[in-house]
Structure 1
Amino acid sequence: MLRVILLRHFPTSGNLLKRYIGVTDEGLCQEEIPDLEQMEFPQAEAVFVSPLVRCRETARLVYPELTPVVCEDFRECDFGEFENKNYLELADNEKYQKWVDSGGTLPFPGGEAVWDFKERCIREFQRVIGISLKAGYGTVAFVVHGGTIMSILEQYADPRQDYYAWHTENGNGYVAEWKEIEVEEAVKEIDAGKKEEKAPEGRLVNICSIR
């Protein structure tokens, strides 16, 4: 059994101001870093992180004994024209109102489409789960972004819930177990007669909040 920890990074100044902080590479707000001696986080054998500073800093604080493995596709969504602004600053923006009216399904103007963001997060999660299973890890941690966690759980959580149901605050997240699903074909043929391992099939079960 593989235990999976999904931890959202600690707060940045932009988070405290309710800004859309996606590709903006803010460090942590030092005043908001919790007293780690008073908090317990689940232990892990490996930690995989977004390349953005706020996640790498959080991983070093929570798992100082581990070397974070940077996974580029776990970076937060690019919010385009909404980046580093909050809803008050965007209140008179027609593009923002259209995006809100769409239920957050429209692409971010000048930024990333939400379905592209979800797809890359899911693809990277599959890749890392495969690595973790092959390595024989018992518990792995992902120190990433709120949107990354929501994308992963929308796809893999059992029972299923929609994307926004998995919102979690900074410094919180979920612990789950990866349950493999049996598939008939374990490998597929690729060019030159080589074989490539299929992405692992499974679900995240027994999900509970870290806090």
Structure 2
Amino acid sequence: MKCVLIRHGKTAGNLAGRYIGCRTDEPLCPEGIAQLREGRYPAVERVFASPLRRCRETARLLYPAMEMEIVEDFRECDFGAFEGLSYADLNGRADYQAWLDSGGEAPFPGGESKAEFSRRCVRAFAACVARAGVSSAAFVVHGGTIMAILEKYARPPGTYYDFQVGNGQGYALDLPEGRYRKLNGR
């Protein structure tokens, strides 16, 4: 199955360098909409999306004639106490430094750990693939969701952070082989 993994378009929070997780349901910004309209994305037979507005709007822009299936467990990570704050806002805070020192492995204060988030996303992805019944599907999700999926399925393998991707960008992943390539979306 060809799985097209696409990160949602830009939001105001992305432009401001803020942690925008599952607690903030913001829309795409005009720049994000324009970027998506300029990109090129593969045709697919089915569309799955995170329930958050930025992903639903992205899916509607990229695949306007297709019905999307909302997958609750594709929602963004819970950034807890860091939600809505920028890197500059957090600079110098002991809890932020402790999280950085953990290599991003510790749970966000009052939120999820990377391991919890990854398990949730990978489980949801596996369930979607199992029931898709098609040879190609788009998954319009969040950057961390893509990173978790590729850390699990990509061959050759890589680490979670090896698969960072910009807004409106993504990967094509062929299953069950695990071959992947970057998309040429802008």
Q: TM above 0.5, one fold? A: yes
Partner of 2:148: 151
Give identity over the alignment, percent. 49
Displacement of 1:35:
5.6
Q: Partners of 1:87 and 1:148 in 2: how far apart?
A: 21
Q: Map residues 60-209 of structure 1 onto 2, 5 A cutoff.
A: 60-132=60-132, 135=133, 137-179=134-176, 203-205=177-179, 207-209=180-182
Partner of 1:14: 13
Residues 44-91 of structure 1: per-residue CA shift (max 9 Å, x gap): 110000000000000000000111100000001000000111110001
Q: Partners of 2:104 and 2:68 in 1: how far apart?
A: 32
Question: What's the Cα RMSD here?
Answer: 1.2
Normalising to structure 2: TM-score of the pair?
Answer: 0.95
Q: Indicate if the aligned counterparts of 2:36 and 2:168 stay in contact, CA closer than 8 A.
A: no
User: Are the structure 2 counterparts of residues 10 and 67 from structure 1 closer, same or farther at C-alpha, using a change threshold of 3 Å?
Assistant: same
Q: Which has the higher strand share?
A: 1
Residues 154-180 of structure 1: per-residue CA shift (max 9 Å, x gap): 01111110000000000000012112x
Normalising to structure 1: TM-score of the pair?
Answer: 0.84
Q: Is the counterpart of residue 30 in structure 1 residue 30 in structure 2?
A: yes
- The aligned amino acid for 1:13 is A
Displacement of 1:92:
2.0
Q: Partners of 1:163 and 1:95 in 2: how far apart?
A: 22
Q: Is the counterpart of residue 40 in structure 1 residue 34 in structure 2?
A: no
- The aligned amino acid for 1:105 is E
Count of equivalent residues: 183
Instruction: State the structure with bigger RCO (CA 8 A, min sep 6), 1 or 2.
Output: 2
Q: Partners of 1:114 and 1:31 in 2: how far apart?
A: 29
Q: Is the counterpart of residue 210 in structure 1 residue 178 in structure 2?
A: no
Q: Which has the higher helix share?
A: 2
Partner of 1:189: none
Q: Map residues 50-69 of structure 1 onto 2, 5 A cutoff.
A: 50-69=50-69
- The aligned amino acid for 1:209 is K
Q: Indicate if the aligned counterparts of 2:49 and 2:69 stay in contact, CA closer than 8 A.
A: yes
Q: Which has the larger radius of gyration?
A: 1
User: Are the structure 2 counterparts of residues 34 and 97 from structure 1 closer, same or farther at C-alpha, using a change threshold of 3 Å?
Assistant: same
